[in-house]
Amino acid sequence: MRPGWCLPGFQSISVGRGTRKRDEDSGTEVGEGTDEWAQSKATVRPPDQLELTDAELKEEFTRILTANNPHAPQNIVRYSFKEGTYKLIGVVNQLAVHFSQVGNLIPKDSDEGRRQHYRDELAASSQESTKVVISETEILEEEEELKETEAETEAGSQTDMPVAEVAEKVTEEELMTPKQPKERKLTNKFNFSERASQTLNNPLRDRECQMEPPPRTNFSATANQWEIYDAYVEELEKQEKTKEKEKAKTPVAKKMGKMAMRKMTSMESQSDDITKVTQAAKIVERMVNQNTYDDVAQDFKYYEDAADEYRDQEGTLLPLWKFQNDKAKRLAVTALCWNPKYNDLFAVGHGSYDFMKQSQGMLLLYSMKNPSFPEYIFSSESGIMCLDMHVDHPYLVVVGHYDGNVAIYNLKKPHSQPSFRSSAKSGKHTDPVWQVRWQKDDMDNNLNFFSVSSDGRIVSWTLLKSELVHTDVIKLKAEGSTTDGLDGLQLHTMGCGTAFDFHKEIDYMFLVGTEEGKIYKCSKSYSSKFLDTYDAHNMAVDAVSWSPYHTKVFMSCSSDWTVKIWDHTIKTPMFIYDLNSAVGDVAWAPYSSTVFAAVTTNGKTHVFDLSINKYEAICSQPVVTKKKNKITHVQFNPIHPIIIVGDDRGHVICLKLSPNLRKMPKEKKGQEVQKGPAVEIAKLDKLLNLVREVKTKT
């Protein structure tokens, strides 16, 4: 292109970026003829043409032809999650689509193509078959005609010719027929009109059906800590029950047990409502009593007599509760015993000491928690004279009766009847049983106990399976009283045993007190001879008791107004105390080896402490309400500083020992106080030695 010959401003142009169309005149296409045409006329300038200087007009602009897509962006940035930043993409897609149309051609080999082809062929073949059939029939007809003509004409060549002609026709026709299905009409895809028609719409109608709403209730529940816990516990129980059921399938006996259980539970539910309240009633009763006797309970726990400091080693007994029961009002307290396991429970035996007035007997068990009513009540036909509670089985109580029988009561069973009873057949005593004592279980683990009676026999009873079997251990013979009877027989007068006590450590040794006032030291193994005899008292021995600490010391009391303390190796007593009235009972204190208590028929209780005062009681106190009442028994509580005292009117009084009465040995600096039995023994020994020395001197 020659610069300058065209309209000013026109430069060499090319297709490129920002193609600027210069005016209507794009002269590249114009040929030579246009040059002349353009020159003959004056340059026409449109009014709005850009006015540039010559220099500017001569400026050369270079345009570069590239294959870039002018619409594509120059830089694309994408966010990279891996690096967390925007990253530049290197290559930008330069593809520019100018025209696109979705076509409706499908390849022949594809599924759809083959299907269509197949469909076409089917359609074609159906047409073809009909035509072929027609043509075949025609051919057959023609052949028949030919054959007929052959049959008619005789000339072979003539017939050949028409046959050949016919054959040709036939082939032509045959050729014709396959072509026809190929020349099918194609549907017009452009000139397409749709025709539709609408039927009459039926009017719509709503049909509804409604049920009765289901019954509804409001439900609310809480999910507390304890509810969750209970649910778990229940689940656990269910699991355990299923386990048990599996186990119980084999042994049949268990099933029977279960049936019985189920019966029991159903019975319980049928019974009256009021029985369910038993437990609660018991608790409430105790609480009510606590309130009523509130001051007493406070005293029991906390009161310490401050006046003891000023009293110069004397002590007092503070009355606490009084236990009595209407049914036992006329009966004397004949036996007292604390329960070895439950320190607030004690047993009271009621009977009568009067030979003439013998009536029924009662066994009552009281708890200190409920002073108004006994926990257990048992009644018997004959008066109870003695009782003992088993150390290992605190629910077994053995009693001895006035009629010579012994019986065992089981506290676990609430029947009023004893579990086991002796009878005349099984060797009961012929005189009242004055004392019973449980022994350790024998080699076959059978329970056994001893009893002593006025008939002079000391009997050992063993509980075999469910019967009481007796064995005479010793027959007490009154020494020096064998008289010659008829026919040279030597009659032995039997001594009458009134009390006995077993040694705490030496199992076979025990002491028996008799009505004559003698005390025999016996052994379980020797049935005829005594180990020793002590001329203890002038009247019947009411009680003998080994010291709980000192193995050699024992104590005895009698209706001859005296209490005597002995060393069993020495024939004469160590200490003698005269109490101005028949002594009913003595008891050692469980907390000190030098303290003991004695009760007399004039209603007084005496407490002695040998370490303080060897000759006198440190406390002599009348404890009964009516002066006529005679005290019959006394017992120390193993744990609490209280004693129970029973009188012959059926009352039991609980008294608290004041501090002076329970003096423990003074603690030396640096030494422990609780040295236990050893200290106690040493204490007593010291005292005894003093006495012994005196004795040996005299």
Partner 1 sequence: MELLDRLEMAEVEETLKRLQSQKRVQVIMVVNTEGIPIKSTMDNPTTTQYANLMHNFILKAWSTVREIDPQNDLTFLQIRSKKNEIMIAPDKNYFLIVIQDPTE
Cβ proximity to partner 1, 374 vs 383, nearer residue: 374
Cβ proximity to partner 1, 89 vs 283, nearer residue: 283
Region from 286-294, 379-387, 397-405, 474-482 binding partner 1, contact rule CB under 8 A:
286-294
Q: Which residue from 292, 423, 481, 580 is in contact with partner 1, where contact means CB under 8 A?
A: 292
Q: Nearest distance from residue 326's CB to partner 1, in Å?
A: 11
Q: Nearest distance from residue 652's CB to partner 1, in Å?
A: 18
Under rule CB under 8 A, residue 373 binds partner 1: yes
Q: Which residue from 277, 307, 576, 694 is in contact with partner 1, where contact means CB under 8 A?
A: 277
- Size of site (CB under 8 A) for partner 1: 35
Cβ proximity to partner 1, 87 vs 413, nearer residue: 413
Under rule CB under 8 A, residue 298 binds partner 1: no
Q: What is the DSSP letter of 249?
A: T
Q: Which residue from 281, 491, 639, 664 is in contact with partner 1, where contact means CB under 8 A?
A: 281
Region from 70-78, 283-291, 315-323, 479-487 binding partner 1, contact rule CB under 8 A:
283-291
What does residue 685 show for φ and ψ, rounded to 5 degrees? Answer: -60, -45
Q: Nearest distance from residue 266's CB to partner 1, in Å?
A: 10
Under rule CB under 8 A, residue 283 binds partner 1: yes
Tell which residue, 543, 637, 553, has the closest CA to residue 583.
543
Q: Which residue from 11, 360, 372, 419 is in contact with partner 1, where contact means CB under 8 A?
A: 372
Instruction: Tokens for 372, please give them.
Output: 């108004």
Q: Which residue from 136, 145, 294, 507 is in contact with partner 1, where contact means CB under 8 A?
A: 294
Tell which residue, 397, 310, 312, has the closest CA to residue 349.
397
Cβ proximity to partner 1, 175 vs 274, nearer residue: 274
Q: How many alpha carbons lie under 13 Å from residue 244 in its C-beta half-sphere? A: 10
- Rounded CA-CA distance 133/135 in Å is 5
- Rounded CA-CA distance 316/620 in Å is 8
Q: What is the DSSP letter of 276?
A: G
**Residue 527 to residues 212, 442, 508, 546, 570, Cα–Cα distance (Å):** 96, 18, 12, 21, 23
Q: Nearest distance from residue 257's CB to partner 1, in Å?
A: 15
Cβ proximity to partner 1, 344 vs 441, nearer residue: 344
Instruction: Tokens for 319, please give them.
Output: 């009355």
Q: Nearest distance from residue 639's CB to partner 1, in Å?
A: 23
Q: Which residue from 83, 272, 444, 505 is in contact with partner 1, where contact means CB under 8 A?
A: 272
Q: Nearest distance from residue 271's CB to partner 1, in Å?
A: 4
Cβ proximity to partner 1, 94 vs 292, nearer residue: 292
What stretch of H or E contains 437?
strand 433-438
Q: Which residue from 87, 169, 245, 276 is in contact with partner 1, where contact means CB under 8 A?
A: 276
Q: Nearest distance from residue 230's CB to partner 1, in Å?
A: 7
Under rule CB under 8 A, residue 85 binds partner 1: no
Instruction: Tokens for 231, please give them.
Output: 């649910």
Q: Which residue from 93, 125, 171, 271 is in contact with partner 1, where contact means CB under 8 A?
A: 271
What's the length of the chain? 698
Q: Nearest distance from residue 521's CB to partner 1, in Å?
A: 47
Q: Where are the beta strands (DSSP E) in 583-698?
A: 583-588, 595-600, 604-609, 619-622, 631-636, 642-647, 652-657
Q: Nearest distance from residue 295's CB to partner 1, in Å?
A: 7
Cβ proximity to partner 1, 131 vs 282, nearer residue: 282
Label each residue of 341-363 as H, E or C.
Answer: CCCCEEEEEEECCCCCCCCCEEE
Cβ proximity to partner 1, 419 vs 581, nearer residue: 419
The distance of Cα 41 from the centroid of its chain, to the nearest Å, equals: 121
Q: Which residue from 250, 279, 671, 674 is in contact with partner 1, where contact means CB under 8 A?
A: 279
Instruction: Tokens for 148, please give them.
Output: 């007929």
Q: Where are the beta strands (DSSP E) in 495-637?
A: 497-502, 509-514, 518-523, 532-535, 541-546, 553-558, 562-567, 575-578, 583-588, 595-600, 604-609, 619-622, 631-636
Q: Nearest distance from residue 407's CB to partner 1, in Å?
A: 21
Cβ proximity to partner 1, 176 vs 264, nearer residue: 264
Q: Nearest distance from residue 273's CB to partner 1, in Å?
A: 6
Q: Which residue from 63, 282, 311, 552 is in contact with partner 1, where contact means CB under 8 A?
A: 282
Cβ proximity to partner 1, 174 vs 299, nearer residue: 299
What residues have CB less than 8 Å from 135, skipping those under 6 apart?
Answer: 170, 173, 174, 177
Q: What is the footprint of partner 1 within residues 248-267 (CB under 8 A)? A: 263-264, 267
CB 631 within 8 A of CB 647: yes
Tell which residue, 173, 149, 174, has the closest CA to residue 161.
149
Q: Which residue from 88, 280, 356, 489 is in contact with partner 1, where contact means CB under 8 A?
A: 280
As a whole number of Å, the end-to-end CA separation of the chain is: 174
Instruction: Tokens for 647, please give them.
Output: 């009188």
Burial 365-395 (b: 16+ CB within 10 A, else e): bbbbbbbbebbbebebebbbbbbbbbeebee
Cβ proximity to partner 1, 52 vs 287, nearer residue: 287
Cβ proximity to partner 1, 195 vs 412, nearer residue: 412
Instruction: Tokens for 141, please give them.
Output: 């007809």
Q: Nearest distance from residue 673's CB to partner 1, in Å?
A: 36
Cβ proximity to partner 1, 371 vs 603, nearer residue: 371
Q: x/- site string to partner 1, residues 201 to 240, per CB under 8 A? A: -----------------------xxx-xxx----------
Q: Nearest distance from residue 223's CB to partner 1, in Å?
A: 11
Q: What is the footprint of partner 1 within residues 410-429 (CB under 8 A)? A: 414
Q: Where are the beta strands (DSSP E) in 454-515?
A: 457-464, 467-475, 477-484, 490-494, 497-502, 509-514
Q: How many CB atoms lie within 10 A of CB 144?
A: 10
Q: How many CB atoms lie within 10 A of CB 180?
A: 12
Under rule CB under 8 A, residue 303 binds partner 1: no
Q: Which residue from 148, 172, 295, 392 is in contact with partner 1, where contact means CB under 8 A?
A: 295
Region from 96-104, 270-278, 308-316, 609-617 binding partner 1, contact rule CB under 8 A:
270-278
Cβ proximity to partner 1, 201 vs 222, nearer residue: 222
- Rounded CA-CA distance 410/415 in Å is 9
Q: What is the footprint of partner 1 within residues 469-508 (CB under 8 A)? A: none
Tell which residue, 627, 657, 628, 630, has the closest CA to residue 643.
657
Q: How many alpha carbons lie under 13 Å from residue 433 in its C-beta half-sphere? A: 32
Q: Nearest distance from residue 293's CB to partner 1, in Å?
A: 8
Which value, to the nearest 10 degrees, does the dihedral of the CA atoms of residues 230, 234, 240, 243 take? -160
Q: Which residue from 275, 417, 471, 613 is in contact with partner 1, where contact means CB under 8 A?
A: 275
List interacting residues with partner 1 (CB under 8 A).
224-226, 228-230, 263-264, 267-268, 271-285, 287-289, 291-292, 294-295, 372-373, 414
